[in-house]
Amino acid sequence: MSITFDEKEKVFHLTTKNTSYIMKVAKEKYLSHVYWGKKIKTPDMENAQLNRATCFDAVPDKKDRSYSLNFVCQEYPTGGGTDYRVPAIQAVFSDGSRAVEFIYDSYKITSGKPKLKGLPATYIEENAEADTLEIVLTDTLKSIKAVLMYTAYNEIDVITRSVRIINESPEQILLEKVMSASVDYETSDYDFVELSGAWGRERHIERNPLRSGIQSIESRRGASSHQLNPFFALASKNANEEYGEVYGFNLVYSGNFTAGVEVDQLFKARAYIGINDYDFSWLLESGESFQAPEAVMVYSSHGFGEMSRTYHRIYRKRLVRGKYRDAVRPILANNWEATYFDFNEEKILELAKTASELGIELLVLDDGWFGKRNSDNCSLGDWYADKEKLPDGIGGLAKKVKEYGILFGLWFEPEMVSPDSDLYRAHPDWCIHIPKRERTECRNQLTLDLSREDVCEYIISAVSGVLDEAEIDYVKWDMNRHMSELGSAGLSPERQKEMSHRYMLGLYHVMEEIVSRHPDVLFESCSGGGGRFDPGMLYYMPQTWTSDDTDAVERLYIQYGTSLAYPVSAMGCHVSAVPNHQAHRITSLSMRGDVAMSGNFGYELDLTAFTEEEKEEVKTQIKQYKDLRTFIQSGDMYRLQSPFEGNTTAWQFISEDGKDIFAAYFRILCEVNGGISRMKFTALDTDAVYEILGDGQGKRYSGDELMNIGLTVDLWGDFNSRTWRLRKV
Ligand code: DGJ
């Protein structure tokens, strides 16, 4: 059992392979947090847990003036009492009162991990993989319970947390805030590390020291967003890729989230993550429960690198599901940047033919195949083929594409509706809106109201209908606007603030239905690029379009930042045309290939416009990626040089058995007489010999030489790269 409870000391101790998480029931009442970090034996509680009330601190036990809830590290802090730090829960009761007082009630330890109803979450395949602890806290006056659920994975250093709130009173309770996890630290000597950005500049790494007050990130857009990601880490000041302590928090949720850290008067820190309480409330009827999403927490004593590899492992193996969890992902060509809306069947078949000749395995038809969509101003919701462009419909096109021996994929944007569409004309109240208020359009579209069952059922049948009728192997599921004028025609006035979360529950239901009805289809999620790159989406769709920005230099930052929490097998990465459509930069085909190969490889440009010389280069890239992809997609990634810290970026992939290695080095601007550059490998076997394959074929070096002396890199010109393929001899 990786979870124990010491009845006498009232101490819960959760362990993973290398970590411990410890809690104690203090004074027979209060569930307090004791420790989270490197694996230890159960410590002496008097030493491990400090109680020291300070001035203006109220004391719940008159006989013990040292014990204050405002000081002690807590496990699930409540509002309205004597802990003035940020609460994990806020509720309003029928008498108007707001104080919640959770007292320890009971616990249950089971092997395995239960599912979360209606929500995505990490899973197990065998009970022996993990143990789960449920701790029940009760407010006896108000008959409200919190069931805190913790799962400790045995072999992966992951602890997951979630919370279920149960209303056992005869009256309604209004929940205003329910965090998924709250963790107290005795010190605030950490940096707050997060992934922020914008459309086309997603997930850049920001690192700032903690300071007094609250430092937080959140989304109020109805999606996890390009702007801030539901991930953050607390890192010791000296933490780098290999050294130092790092605590990672990631919410398995695709909607409005909040996460942050409060540093209090005594420089202690409280971290939290959960559904955003902004514009949120939930009316809990008597007997009902509310399930908060899962937080995936990773502690690493070996810096960011180990934290990331742990996230990659759990997400690759126990979050992503279905056929493509373990299967290699096909190399694709997408027509979007090749044609935009301007295509017909002939053009698509030309692309398919060329793709097949080059060795590409899947052709994806992007936006513009349905309704009368020749620009982005109409037809979302009308999921039937435009017969002017595609006379034989999607079914006919799919058959013809497949005659070239490749797979066929199709784009959808199922959550949206264009005001100029048959769907909107038939159901004007199916979009998110407030009666009589302007329905503000973004990209000429409105958001369908997925908090409504009828809307969800329409989407399921419309998308499934197309997938049932044509031979479709891949779906790109796009989403191109954020919510505004929040309101649902399906909810009563007092439930309007439930809309954003009900939308997510509806979306998860829709995706669950569609992916389980079509188990052989590879799904890739997208939101104007990486606007919904989160673990919630990955549970349904094993890969995500990382960013609409396909410039090779910009992608170094985006892919490097994304890898902090998410595996490369989740990142769609394509070679696109130059000058790049977003950055207008010209980079070599070779660098574009090396950057895109560091993820799920594909092309997004007019393949028919390649010169003969370019075609040969592309064929070589494709051959190369076919040799690399098993371990790029399923092996370990090591970040070696950060684009956020200098002119060079480097990373390395290594297969699980340590035998196959691929490393890439990128230099943005040329440095004349800039000194000697070396690529130092990592995680190799010091005593083993490695052979360089491909370029430099046959040369052999010892692991310790490759790691300590490294290989020289000679690059000339701006925007350049060099890669190495190694095999252990
Ligand atoms: C946004 C996506 O990120 C693009 O790749 C493309 O699919 C367009 N939408 C199509 O409208």
Q: What is the pLDDT of residues 230-267, one digit of tens each?
A: 999 999 999 999 999 999 999 999 999 999 999 999 99
At 478, give phi and psi (nearest 5°). -100, 165
Cα–Cα distance between 111 and 228 in angstroms, integer? 35
Cα–Cα distance between 192 and 204 in angstroms, integer? 14
Tokens matching residue 143: 């008959």
Q: Answer whether the bond into residue 579 is a cis peptide, omega within 30°.
A: yes
Q: Compute the distance from residue 368 Cα to the ligand 1 centre, in Å.
A: 10
Burial class of residue 27, CB neighbours in 10 A (0-12, 13-18, 19+): middle
- 673, 675, 676, 678: CA torsion to nearest 10: -120
46 falls in which pLDDT band (50, 70, 90)? confident
697 falls in which pLDDT band (50, 70, 90)? confident
Q: Name residue 201's amino acid.
A: R
Residue of 686, 628, 631 whose CA lies nearest to 657: 631
Q: Compute the distance from residue 367 Cα to the ligand 1 centre, in Å.
A: 7
Q: Name residue 435's amino acid.
A: P
The number of helix segments (H) and strand segments (E) in the chain equals: 14, 38
- Return the H-helix or E-strand segment holding 175: strand 173-185
Residues 445 and 480 sit within 8 Å (Cβ to Cβ): yes
Cα–Cα distance between 320 and 521 in angstroms, integer? 14
Q: Compute the distance from residue 480 Cα to the ligand 1 centre, in Å.
A: 8
694 falls in which pLDDT band (50, 70, 90)? confident
pLDDT at 506: 98
At 292, give phi and psi (nearest 5°). -85, 155
Decide if pLDDT at 412 tops 90.
yes
Over range 566-580, report the average pLDDT.
98
Kindly provide the residue ranges of all beta strands, DSSP E only, lying in 624-679, ordered along the sequence.
Answer: 636-641, 648-654, 660-667, 678-679
Catalytic residue among 57, 473, 534, 548: 548
> What are the C-alpha distances in Å from 428 to residues 418, 439, 462, 636?
10, 11, 17, 49
∠ Cα 356 573 631 (to 5°): 85
Q: Is 548 a catalytic residue?
A: yes
Residue of 641, 718, 713, 721 whose CA lies nearest to 672: 718
485 vs 59 pLDDT, higher one: 485
Residues 360 and 661 sit within 8 Å (Cβ to Cβ): no
> Three-class SS of residue 469?
helix
The answer to whether the CB of 480 is under 6 A from ligand 1 is yes
Q: Is 549 a catalytic residue?
A: no
Pocket test for ligand 1, best of 332, 340, 367, 544 (most atoms within 8 A of CB): 367
The answer to whether the CB of 447 is under 6 A from ligand 1 is no
> Three-class SS of residue 314?
helix
CA atoms within 13 Å, Cβ hemisphere of 505: 16
φ/ψ region of 203 (left if φ > 0, alpha if ψ in -120 to 50, else beta) reads: left
Cα–Cα distance between 713 and 650 in angstroms, integer? 11
Tokens matching residue 11: 């101490």
Cα–Cα distance between 119 and 520 in angstroms, integer? 22
Helical residues (DSSP H) of 417-498, grouped into ranges: 422-426, 453-469
In this structure, the strands spanning 173-185 and 89-92 are antiparallel
Cα–Cα distance between 724 and 729 in angstroms, integer? 15
DSSP per position, 106-125: EEEEEES-PPPTTS-----S
The answer to whether the CB of 21 is under 6 A from ligand 1 is no
Rounded to a whole number of angstroms, the distance between the first and last alpha carbons of the chain is 40
45 falls in which pLDDT band (50, 70, 90)? confident
The answer to whether the CB of 412 is under 6 A from ligand 1 is no
Q: Quick one: DSSP state of residue 81?
A: S
pLDDT at 264: 96
Over range 676-680, report the average pLDDT.
92
| pLDDT above 90: percentage of residues in the chain | 94
Which residue has a Cα nearest atom 4 of ligand 1? 528
Q: Compute the distance from residue 526 Cα to the ligand 1 centre, in Å.
A: 8
The answer to whether the CB of 526 is under 6 A from ligand 1 is yes
Q: What digits encode the pLDDT tens for the residues 423-462?
A: 999 999 999 999 999 999 999 999 999 999 999 999 999 9
Which residue has a Cα nearest atom 11 of ligand 1? 367
| pLDDT above 70: percentage of residues in the chain | 100
Residue of 688, 691, 681, 677 whose CA lies nearest to 725: 691
Cα–Cα distance between 197 and 226 in angstroms, integer? 6
∠ Cα 331 335 338 (to 5°): 120
673 vs 534 pLDDT, higher one: 534
> What are the C-alpha distances in Å from 171 to residues 81, 167, 217?
22, 8, 34
Decide if pLDDT at 132 tops 80.
yes
pLDDT at 357: 98
Which residue has a Cα nearest atom 1 of ligand 1? 528
Q: Which of 8-12, 242-246, 447-451, 715-719 has the lowest mean pLDDT?
A: 715-719
Over range 211-239, report the average pLDDT.
98
Pocket test for ligand 1, best of 411, 532, 580, 605 (most atoms within 8 A of CB): 411
What does the chain come to in residues? 729
Cα–Cα distance between 27 and 49 in angstroms, integer? 13
Q: Name residue 180's amino acid.
A: S
In this structure, the strands spanning 407-412 and 362-365 are parallel
The answer to whether the CB of 366 is under 6 A from ligand 1 is yes
DSSP per position, 392-436: THHHHHHHHHHTTT-EEEEEE-TTEE-SSSHHHHH-GGGBS--TT
The answer to whether the CB of 561 is under 6 A from ligand 1 is no
Residues 492 and 456 sit within 8 Å (Cβ to Cβ): no
Cα–Cα distance between 151 and 109 in angstroms, integer? 10
Residue of 527, 529, 528, 525 whose CA lies nearest to 539: 525
Q: Compute the distance from residue 215 Cα to the ligand 1 centre, in Å.
A: 33
Q: Which residues are CB-contacts of 193 (< 8 A; sequence separation ≥ 6)?
A: 205, 206, 207, 232, 233, 234, 235, 246, 304, 564
Q: Compute the distance from residue 440 Cα to the ligand 1 centre, in Å.
A: 21
Helical residues (DSSP H) of 34-178, grouped into ranges: 45-48
Catalytic residue among 366, 478, 549, 594: 478
pLDDT at 73: 95
138 falls in which pLDDT band (50, 70, 90)? very high
Q: Compute the distance from residue 391 Cα to the ligand 1 centre, in Å.
A: 23
The answer to whether the CB of 530 is under 6 A from ligand 1 is no
Over range 501-526, report the average pLDDT.
98
- Give the chain's mean pLDDT: 97
Residue of 288, 289, 322 whose CA lies nearest to 541: 322
pLDDT at 720: 95
Tokens matching residue 115: 């599912």
SS3 track for 565-633 = CCCHHHEEEEEECCCCCCCCCCCCHHHHHHHHCCCEEEEECCHHHCCHHHHHHHHHHHHHHHHHHHHHH
> Three-class SS of residue 446?
strand
Tokens matching residue 406: 């490749």
585 falls in which pLDDT band (50, 70, 90)? very high
pLDDT at 696: 65
The answer to whether the CB of 529 is under 6 A from ligand 1 is yes
Which neighbouring-strand residues pair with 385? 370
Cα–Cα distance between 602 and 598 in angstroms, integer? 11
CB atoms within 10 A of CB 490: 16
